[in-house]
Structure 1
Amino acid sequence: MPLNYGERRKPRDLRGLWLGLIPGAALVWAILAANSAGHHRLEREQGWIGAGPPCPPLSAAAYRARGYAAHERATDYDGSTLARQFGHMICKDVDTSGGFGVLSHPACQFTSPTAIRVKTAAGEAFFEPGAGRLATVSIEKGRVACATSGQFTLFHDPTN
């Protein structure tokens, strides 16, 4: 059978392509959503997502008047400065809500910090969780939040 190179073929039907792309996109979205949900569950169990009551806020003047500024132990982490008076600190990048495991923000847990100062590009925030209390600080989208909760102690690292 001779080939006729001058004859035009019918255009291809793209339905098959769409029938493959739509389920493929749905599968990728489902995998990303499951990954994000798994990370959030693990971070909640490890205390990185503060579920406790908010830390009492403190003004900059009160922070300095109580002598906290003179006895700070400051650490730079991910573009922010976090300062405390006592205790230990551990930080981690935590998945941001709605980021599907791709976007993250810094979170730090403290053991007995007494007072906390957080300096970001947006300004400073001051908190006074108190001595002997655990605290979790989260810096998400320029907003600093502190909760009196966490899992980190001197004898327990929540990341292990």
Structure 2
Amino acid sequence: MPTEAGPRKARDFGAVRRYGLAHVIGAIVVVGAAALLVTSQAVRDRNAAIALAKKWDIQGPPCPAMSETEFNTKHEVAPKTFDYDGVTLGRIAGDVSCSDVKDDGGRGFGTDKVCQFTSPAALTVASPAGRFFFVPGPGQPATLRIHKNVATCVMASKFTLQTE
């Protein structure tokens, strides 16, 4: 029985599919949401890095430094040694707590190694940049900061066994 609609049209499966306005808006919403999530996570990470840098920013007078010859002449030894990410740290006594801290107050892209000591008496650092020797003295807390493998030391620390 013939129909009034006429002959059936064959469907063209090779035709280019067109996207409507709803597809474009949907894609923009998805991309925008992803960008918002990535940005908010980056801001949270940066704020956490700044807070950690503040916590580990120890100020104090510089530790007395010595050359390797002076250190060895005074028969100083630092028998308690450990490796911290390719840098060997030594101390005579006391306890230590270390952390990786973003440089530039937590805003930088590099990472400093910071170690707080309760009462090291003497400190040695062997890094790719050289060997460093500090003698804060018995009972004196100290903090080492290793920036680009160069060690600096101050005679202060917030670390105690009770804060750990």
**Same fold by TM-score greater than 0.5:** yes
Contact conserved, 2:120 with 2:137, CA < 8 A, in 1?
yes
Q: How does 1:34-73 map to 2 (within 5 A)?
A: 34-42=44-52, 44-45=54-55, 48-69=56-77, 72-73=78-79
Structure 1 residues 51 and 35, CA gap change in structure 2 (3 angstroms): farther
Tell me the amino acid that sits aligned with residue 24 of structure 1.
Answer: A
- Structure 2 residue corresponding to 1:25, chosen from 35, 38, 42: 35
- Which ranges of structure 2 fall in alignment gaps of 5 or more residues? 1-7
Q: Identify unmatched segments of 5+ residues in structure 1.
A: none
CA RMSD of aligned residues (A): 3.3
CA contact (8 A) 2:92 2:122 kept: yes
Aligned residues: 151
- Per-residue CA deviations over 1:50-91 (Å, capped at 9, x if unaligned) read 33333232211221122213xx223122232222223x1223
With 119-128 and 22-31 compared, the bigger mean Cα shift is at 22-31
TM-score (norm 1): 0.70
How many angstroms apart in 2 are the aligned matches of 1:16 and 1:52? 56
The answer for the alignment partner of 2:149 in structure 1 is 142
For the pair shown, the structure with the greater C-alpha radius of gyration is 2
Within 5 A, what are the aligned runs for 1:116-127?
116-127=123-134
What is the rounded CA distance, in whole Å, between the counterparts of 2:111 and 2:124 in structure 1?
21
* TM-score normalised by L of structure 2: 0.69
Shift of 1:146: 1.6
Q: Percent identity?
A: 28
Q: SS in structure 1 opposite 2:66?
A: coil
Tell me whether 1:132 sits opposite 2:142 in the alignment: no
CA distance in 2, matches of 1:92, 1:40: 17
Q: Which segment is superposed worse, 55-64 or 21-30?
A: 21-30
Whichever residue aligns with residue 51 of structure 1, its letter is Q
SS at match of 1:8: coil
Does residue 105 of structure 2 align to residue 95 of structure 1? no
